């Protein structure tokens, strides 16, 4: 069970961190109020929903000995804010998928919640891609 707790912990952190980066790039680079509001609603709903999970998982955290801590696991380079944005959207989507799968073991309701988050992020990614493409064309 310890591994399951650690997987949930790291992916909750990854998901919330990724969403925060996406929010900031949309806020300051894309400057789209509707997209920003949508991302904030998702992030705020997520924060409220996982509040108790987060607290319960901290004792299982082993960040000092985590094999994924090394810089060699993050070799992707970013060329611009668009790279940062889409890398963090993917990070958030992947984390939502991991949470969905792991939570299918014992919490179907939370698994469904993360599935819904994942599909919302796919829609946001599409909206952002369309917005960026239209901005470049103009």
pTM of the prediction? 0.84
pLDDT for the residue numbered 134? 79
Spatial contact of 8 and 103, defined as CB atoms under 8 Å apart: yes
**Is pLDDT at 78 greater than 70 in this prediction?**
no
> What is the rounded distance in angstroms from the CA atom of residue 85 to the CA atom of residue 22?
5
Q: Check residue 7 and give its pLDDT.
A: 86
The stretch 32-38 carries a mean pLDDT of 95
């Amino acid at each position: 069970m310890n591994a399951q707790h650690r997987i949930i912990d790291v992916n909750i952190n990854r998901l919330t961190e990724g969403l925060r980066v996406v929010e900031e790039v949309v806020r300051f680079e894309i400057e789209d109020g509707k997209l920003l509001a949508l991302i904030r609603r998702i992030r705020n709903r997520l924060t409220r929903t996982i509040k108790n999970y987060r607290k319960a998982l901290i004792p299982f955290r082993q960040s000092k000995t985590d094999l994924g801590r090394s810089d060699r696991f993050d070799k992707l380079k970013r060329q611009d804010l668009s790279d940062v944005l889409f890398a963090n959207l993917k990070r958030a989507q992947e984390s939502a998928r991991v949470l969905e799968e792991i939570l299918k073991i014992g919490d179907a309701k939370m698994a469904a919640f993360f599935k819904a988050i994942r599909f919302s992020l796919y829609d946001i990614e599409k909206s952002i891609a369309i917005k960026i493409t239209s901005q470049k064309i103009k």
